[in-house]
Structure 1
Amino acid sequence: MSVASTRSLLHTEALARRELLDVTSYDVELDLASDEARFRSVTTITFESRGGATFVDLKPVGLNGVRLDDRPLDPDLLSGGRLPLETTPGTHVLVVDAVMPFRNDGEGLHRSVDPADGRHYVYGMSFMDAAPTVFACFDQPDLKAPYTLRVRAPHDWVVVGNAPAALVDGGGQQPGTWELGPTQPLSTYFVTLVAGPYHVVRDEHDGIPLGLSSRQSLARHLDKDADELLTMTRQCFDEFHRLFGIRYPFGDYHQAFVPEFNAGAMENPGCVTFRDQLVFDTRVTRGKRILRATTVAHEMAHQWFGNITTPRWWDDLWLNESFAEYMGNRVTAEVTEYDDAWTHVSWSRRQWGLRADQRPSTHPVAGNGAEDALTALQNFDGISYAKGSSILRQLCTRLGDEVFLAGVVDHLDRHRFGNATMHDLVASWERAGAEDLSPVVGEWLRKAGPDVVRHDRERGLVLRHSPPAAPAERSHLFDVVVLTPGGATTTPVTLTADETPAPPVAPGAAVVLDPHEESWAVYVPDGETVAALVDVLPGVTDHRLRAGTWNNVKSGYAEGAIAPDAVVALAVAAFPAEDTEDTGRHTMPWLLGEVVPAAATGALERLHRAAVASLVLQQPGSELQLSAYRAGIRTASDPATLRAWLQASPDGITLDDDLRWRLLTRLAVLGGTDRAELDAALTAAESSANRVHHTGATASLPTPEAKAYAWERFTGAVEVSNYELEAAGTGMWRGGQEQLTAEYVDRYVADLPGTGAVRSGWVLAVAATAFFPASHVDAATLERLRTLLAPGVLEPAVARRVADAVDDLDRQLAVRAAYPVA
């Protein structure tokens, strides 16, 4: 189903419909046992109207019938995902009998087949515009209602959802009927269903039934991780109950790890869904475990902020995400074994938010002007999470816990199971004892873009520059750390003007601005600091300080103030193995994707030697050793090295599926393997994860056939899951293969506008990013890609992603122009 075939809800339309309607209840019957491609959905909505015309949201593949107050409606009236209704004042009952599609893009009711054993699994993702592909509804966040679901499912399936599920009919080899609810009042985007032959682990804590579930092929891995997951869940429940004094109100608390999930997780009340890559079937680093812990805590925080009290409209989405981001990280650090959670956040989230805030597409944290639901989805980014969280953390420091938490509790109590706005929250804080918060709202939440803060060594000043497009008068309170071979000196600085005296600095010392990230700004180190860090950073053992220092360097590089070769020199001297993850937002991908291609010849080999040296220095079996080994794989340029590692791993490293495919993928990039070997490796260990690895490795081969293979997935000529699609895009554009992929730059420009006909929603935008020709950093490519940004060429979701990628490409070109390689 294409977005082009439906209309996104306008904010003005949502306001009018909310003014007209109150929804009393939903009763939804789903038949999941009759067909593998589609399912019957019968929805009964009881609602009150003040009289007038409105519409119900509905995106079926077939419509059996519609009745309003026992009067049949013409199914042909359905257009653009909307069925018009004429209502009189009073109570109405709408019954919609529809046929809905099982989807494979991680939205709606997603159905997948596990290649490990052929079992089918289903889960619901109703966020944003997806709910109407599952059931008929008034799809906006401020029309809440209780839900009752009746689900017909195959006999060997388990059903879980927003309320405890009971098998009320069926048994033996016949399909069974499960009943769930009624729930507490929910927004449509929270409604979920998890159904299939899932492996389930059950427990209880403080009167709350707990559950975990995964595919059967991951059962032993879930069992292995269950104690850690349940322990964290208990710890977080106790802490949230202590902090808020409000009991969790949604009955059971089930955490379902589901296949091919787009986001990290979704906070559905009573049944949180997570991507099942968070059930670890191979060895992982501490960074990955911290990510899982903070995700668990983040989704639990949502049960209060977001689920009890929900934003009225998507422009207050930050009320959900910023709050859950702050509280999730805070609670993880304070009550779980991962007391270094804030350090991981520094490595993984800070630059994500800052880069989003520096782009032309930046937007305010609050009141971001989302005129329709799909536009709001594009603002679901690092600003909503990282920047908003940082501002809340600053505000909590300023107000103190007593006032901050009292305001939150007042907000939740006043709007229990209802909807609210940012202004409601601010009013609650002011009632709790905060002074007038309008400056915070105006300067921090309503103005887009970060201040840029620099250290002027010669003048002994810290300089603040606010965004020219939105001049601000923001004050900053943070530490300045001066690093010398003898140690570190910390001085607090309050920055209330464009120029503020800086602490004294001896020649040759490095100055790190706000390394503990107490404020929100782009911090740019001076040239002498960058040079000094090569000598002093290797001796720094404080991991939080090291992470903050690297963020100064990354910001300085993005601002064009640091040469690529200087960054490489620092990475070689102080190899960042402690940033143990190597997904897109972390240090190693940044070094390899942006810095090394702009540096002098030999930069990759220097990094490889540094990675191998770090590998040798680390304790065998440690997570730092695993991090260094992964870096060694990614930086290797000699296939013989990779072949040797395939045959015999270093002491302390076990060659599991993840590492084997990392080695094979790097061999593919270098032309050191072929399709036959990759196919054989997949056949030897068929799984959903290995299928994704295989797709990425195959697309990475330096052959015309490999690039054609990837492109068939982009255009939709070959239909694959969302994860395989993204992997194909990653493999498509490998550095060093530009001659092979040159023709696809024009094909991207030509084919991208048509992808809305073959996919929609989240995956539509993800594909645009994954297949963006990021390896072609040249002016001709930039100008070619800019033609896509002309009005009307791309759908908004895609245009936003392309505009951001074009801005990144423009910045990389600016760095190369400023620091040309001889």
Structure 2
Amino acid sequence: MNLTRDEARTRAALLTVQSYDISLDLTRGDRVFGSRTVVTFDAEQGASTFIDAVTDKVHRVELNGVPLEPREVSDGVRIQLPVLAATNTLVVDADMPYMNTGEGLHRFVDPVDGEVYLYTQFEVPDSRRVFAVFEQPDLKATFRFLVTAPASWDVISNSPTPEPVPAGEGADGVAGATWSFEPTPVLSSYVTALIAGPYQSVRSELTSSSGRTIPLGVFARKSLMQYLDAENIFDLTRQGFAFYEEQFGTPYPFEKYDQLFVPEFNAGAMENAGAVTFVETYVFRSRVPDATVERRAITVLHELAHMWFGDLVTMRWWNDLWLNESFAEYMSTLAAAEATEFRQAWTTFAILEKGWAYRQDQLPSTHPIVARIDDLDDVQVNFDGITYAKGASVLKQLVAWVGQGEFMAGVREYFVKHAGKNTELVDLLTELEAASGRDLRAWSALWLETAGVNTLRPEFAIDEDGVITSFTILQSAIDAFPTLRPHRLAVGFYDLDDDGALVRVHRVELDVDGERTEVPQLIGRPRPALVLLNDDDLAYAKIRLDPASLRTSVQHVKDFRDSLPRTLVLASAWDATRDGESPAREYLELVLQNVGAESDSSVVLVLLRQLASTLAFYVAPQDRDRLGDEAADRLLELALAAPAGSDAQLQLMKAFAGHARTPAQLGTLEAILSGQDVPPGLEVDQDLRWELLTGLVVGGRCGENEIAAELERDATATGQLAAAEARAAVPTAAAKEAAWTALVDSAELPNAVQRSMISGFTRVHDRSLLEPFVERYFSSIEDVWSSRTYEIAQQIVVGLYPSLLTTQATLDRTDSFIAGLGEDSPSLRRLVLESRDGVERAMRAQAADR
């Protein structure tokens, strides 16, 4: 199932692929579908190679009119192609299996009405699960799909959907039809797509900068259409189109733009050319925090940016995945901030995306943005905070250094020269250098080709009048990643005004480089209440506050007039907690004192997540229960004090439900769930009911009877997932054993159900419930890794690691497993090492909290 970079290079040197003609028969029952692929390609005459095809059964292989014996040339993963001609036609006729893992062609049955829904997910290497293909991004071609399916379905692909033609009855006796799509533009196979089923849609259109009319569609399952706010999606799409076409200087490159919300999706979304798929939780059947609405908007804009970065111009090999993801991440935030209602998008970026990047960049598995990718296993684990968030952060810093106008001028020329092609890092740098007049090779070597995050601290002196006499910015790095980098950043001075607001009174922007950077511009100024390095969040670096500024932040963080500096101060405090520099209980106090006054929904969301992590991992174990009980009481107090019907009320109540454990706290949950004592303005909708009930299950107040009753009330796919999580959360040895058996000993669970059960399994107040599974985890995961698909295996390896058992025994058992693994399965090794690092970090933080 793996493909090495060397194999890909060799195959790319041999072949030029022209076209794929793919016929799919979706009327053969619920286990397999028919797949017939005709590939035309040029090759080095006399050479041999292989084509990728993950099959159930191969019926026919014909190369240039000569039949090949399927049993001799196919092993179920690859088909060997001997003695190629200069120009070749290959025919592969096979049965392919439907998947329930969110990879390949995923099949889902809606429990509400029994309807079948299909969709493809191909990134990284899974188009080979649907048709025979040279599965690597630099072998682009055109793709023509011919699809036979039930006549009542809608069938969507990259090209506009044609009128179907009747095709008789399928194996199940259902009337069929055939859709014959026009060939796509030249694409990499991983951004082709097929979505089929009785999806319903809302249609619209827009006018491109080229003058073309671009049809728009938003799709969802029939049972979800009542909740789909399509006009919001269309508004964001139009705003994104106008912004990107102006910035990129290249009109939208495809014929139409469909956005489809599909069930049991593994990621947030996927940038299939002209047919983007999204996770279904972005269809809001219940009220969600405003932060989630913003996250959906960023995702919509991220995927739209991919139509240029990734689809029109594609990286040659997966080591340049950042060319896709970092740019889409940066551009989506820029578009949100400058072209939509989400003007505070950079605040969200600072606390959410950069927080992810800093966390990932401090793991033992951190890697350069331009990562070494030797094979497909390597790239699977590289969809991480480095590739997405650090890459976008570094691009933001680059823009601050070269100027946004110059940066975009380089990007426009990049699209002009490379449309429809594959590129490498040097191709982009060449255009950015030409546009900006700066030499970016040294910048690239330091920022894109080395790993690790630097820490910046202020060092200054004042005289007896409080006037600054010297000011230096200190930069440090850890021994494992010692690179010191140049930073373009701002230093902000903040003081309290007459209204008690903390406002910026002075700002200096400068270049920082080396261990010490003097800032003479600040000499002679009065010392402010708070000094903030990296004001406006231009640089990618951890920051620390001087002692006096830290005291000001604790007392007045809620008094910042603007959300971004407040967020940067909170992020610094969180970072110091994770690093074991500050006691975890101080961070708890900081959050609980200030989260109720926070106006930015995304900041509230992140602070509440960090509060949960602090209680779970970083506070001293002997005080964990007491501090957790006190935190839950405070969250309830804040929820009750929040404005009725507000976003803060909803988020704080959800957080309380997740932490409630005392008899009084569980009693409050019961009263709200039963409707006896609902706070004014709080709508106890179906999704909130599940959160309240699951909190009661974890606390031992409710069990199977209540779960079954709630599932009867909510007999939907979402209800089934919530019930699976609640059942796995029942705090008994028998319930944990049943969940473990279903997750590890069996391989039948669909991806979404597995994910929910893992979440429930690890929700415990009594951690001793998890101790019997430590040895079973380490004795099972090699087999899981080798026998399950990547998505399924990763969920188990990461989700069931004994992270909550923060003891030396856990570290020792992990070390013995890694030693036994040796150099085999490097991706598995990486995932376990990352989990181990979490335990080790937790133990350091706990020691600092005593």
Asked if the contact 2:38/2:91 (under 8 Å) is kept, the reply is yes
Mapped partners of 2:621, 2:471: distance in 1: 32
Answering whether residue 832 of structure 2 is matched by residue 799 of structure 1, we say no
Partner of 2:24: 30
Q: Residue type of the partner of 1:161?
A: S
Mapped partners of 1:357, 1:80: distance in 2: 38
Partner of 1:710: 739
Asked if the contact 1:474/1:496 (under 8 Å) is kept, the reply is yes
Partner of 1:73: 68
Asked if the contact 1:66/1:74 (under 8 Å) is kept, the reply is yes
Partner of 1:546: 566
1:379 to 357, 361, 382: 382
Asked if the contact 1:348/1:586 (under 8 Å) is kept, the reply is no
Asked if the contact 1:306/1:320 (under 8 Å) is kept, the reply is yes
Answering whether residue 199 of structure 2 is matched by residue 198 of structure 1, we say yes
Q: Secondary structure at the match of 2:196?
A: strand
TM-score (norm 1): 0.95
Query: Deviation string for 1:142-184 (max 9, x for gaps)?
Result: 0000000000111211000110121341179611101122000
Mapped partners of 2:608, 2:304: distance in 1: 24
Answering whether residue 557 of structure 2 is matched by residue 537 of structure 1, we say yes
Query: Deviation string for 1:273-328 (max 9, x for gaps)?
Result: 11111111110111101100010000010101111110000000000000000001
Answering whether residue 59 of structure 2 is matched by residue 42 of structure 1, we say no
Answering whether residue 564 of structure 2 is matched by residue 561 of structure 1, we say no
1:159 to 150, 155, 158: 155
Partner of 1:392: 395
Asked if the contact 1:58/1:83 (under 8 Å) is kept, the reply is yes
Query: Deviation string for 1:196-226 (max 9, x for gaps)?
Result: 000111111101000010011111111xx11
Describe how 1:134-173 pairs up with structure 2 within 5 A: 134-170=130-166
Mapped partners of 1:33, 1:80: distance in 2: 22
Mapped partners of 2:608, 2:148: distance in 1: 42
Q: Secondary structure at the match of 1:728?
A: helix
Asked if the contact 2:111/2:717 (under 8 Å) is kept, the reply is yes
Q: Residue type of the partner of 1:105?
A: T
Q: Secondary structure at the match of 1:417?
A: coil
Partner of 1:607: 631
Q: Residue type of the partner of 2:414?
A: H
Over 3 Å counting, the alpha-carbon distance change for 1:530 and 1:562 in structure 2 is: farther
2:479 to 464, 468, 472: 468
Over 3 Å counting, the alpha-carbon distance change for 1:508 and 1:407 in structure 2 is: closer
Asked if the contact 2:301/2:332 (under 8 Å) is kept, the reply is yes
1:105 to 98, 101, 105: 101
Answering whether residue 72 of structure 2 is matched by residue 61 of structure 1, we say no
Q: Residue type of the partner of 1:184?
A: P
Q: Residue type of the partner of 1:513?
A: L
Asked if the contact 1:64/1:98 (under 8 Å) is kept, the reply is yes
Asked if the contact 1:511/1:529 (under 8 Å) is kept, the reply is yes
Over 3 Å counting, the alpha-carbon distance change for 1:735 and 1:261 in structure 2 is: same
Over 3 Å counting, the alpha-carbon distance change for 1:598 and 1:740 in structure 2 is: closer
Partner of 1:477: 488
Mapped partners of 1:22, 1:772: distance in 2: 44
Answering whether residue 437 of structure 2 is matched by residue 407 of structure 1, we say no
Q: CA deviation at 1:619?
A: 2.2
Answering whether residue 18 of structure 2 is matched by residue 18 of structure 1, we say no
Mapped partners of 1:681, 1:469: distance in 2: 51
Mapped partners of 1:725, 1:695: distance in 2: 8
Task: Show structure 2 runs of 5+ residues with no match.
Answer: 169-173, 208-212, 462-469
Mapped partners of 1:552, 1:610: distance in 2: 23
Aligned residues: 811
Q: Residue type of the partner of 1:216?
A: K
Describe how 1:136-535 pairs up with structure 2 within 5 A: 136-170=132-166, 174-206=175-207, 207-222=213-228, 225-366=229-370, 368-456=371-459, 461-483=472-494, 486=497, 487-489=502-504, 490-492=506-508, 494=510, 495-501=512-518, 509-526=529-546, 528-535=548-555
Q: Secondary structure at the match of 2:845?
A: helix
Partner of 1:645: 672
Mapped partners of 1:550, 1:584: distance in 2: 9
Partner of 2:171: none
Q: CA deviation at 1:586?
A: 4.2
CA RMSD of aligned residues (A): 2.2
Asked if the contact 2:25/2:148 (under 8 Å) is kept, the reply is yes
Partner of 1:700: 729
Task: Decide which moves more: 510-519 or 388-397.
Answer: 510-519
Query: Deviation string for 1:747-778 (max 9, x for gaps)?
Result: 11111111135421222112211112121111
Asked if the contact 1:479/1:515 (under 8 Å) is kept, the reply is yes
Asked if the contact 2:57/2:76 (under 8 Å) is kept, the reply is no
Q: CA deviation at 1:511?
A: 4.1
Q: CA deviation at 1:591?
A: 3.4
Over 3 Å counting, the alpha-carbon distance change for 1:238 and 1:507 in structure 2 is: closer
1:661 to 690, 710, 722: 690
Q: Secondary structure at the match of 1:807?
A: helix
Answering whether residue 842 of structure 2 is matched by residue 812 of structure 1, we say yes
Task: Decide which moves more: 496-505 or 248-257.
Answer: 496-505
Mapped partners of 2:335, 2:316: distance in 1: 27
Q: Residue type of the partner of 1:643?
A: E
Partner of 2:648: 624
Q: Residue type of the partner of 1:543?
A: S
Partner of 1:673: 702
Mapped partners of 2:545, 2:581: distance in 1: 8
Mapped partners of 2:683, 2:176: distance in 1: 44
Q: Residue type of the partner of 2:407?
A: F
Mapped partners of 1:612, 1:344: distance in 2: 25
Partner of 2:464: none
Asked if the contact 1:347/1:587 (under 8 Å) is kept, the reply is no
Asked if the contact 2:310/2:324 (under 8 Å) is kept, the reply is yes
Over 3 Å counting, the alpha-carbon distance change for 1:608 and 1:742 in structure 2 is: same
Answering whether residue 126 of structure 2 is matched by residue 126 of structure 1, we say no
Partner of 2:79: 83
Asked if the contact 1:104/1:112 (under 8 Å) is kept, the reply is yes
Partner of 2:592: 572
Q: Residue type of the partner of 1:40?
A: G
Mapped partners of 1:636, 1:461: distance in 2: 47
Asked if the contact 1:564/1:598 (under 8 Å) is kept, the reply is no
Mapped partners of 2:324, 2:628: distance in 1: 41
Q: Residue type of the partner of 1:238?
A: A
TM-score (norm 2): 0.92
Over 3 Å counting, the alpha-carbon distance change for 1:507 and 1:789 in structure 2 is: farther
Query: Deviation string for 1:593-619 (max 9, x for gaps)?
Result: 334565835322332233233323432
Identity %: 34
Asked if the contact 1:508/1:528 (under 8 Å) is kept, the reply is no
Describe how 1:736-775 pairs up with structure 2 within 5 A: 736-775=765-804
Task: Decide which moves more: 378-387 or 457-466.
Answer: 457-466
Over 3 Å counting, the alpha-carbon distance change for 1:768 and 1:542 in structure 2 is: same
Mapped partners of 2:147, 2:406: distance in 1: 45
Over 3 Å counting, the alpha-carbon distance change for 1:720 and 1:391 in structure 2 is: same
Task: Decide which moves more: 428-437 or 441-450.
Answer: 428-437
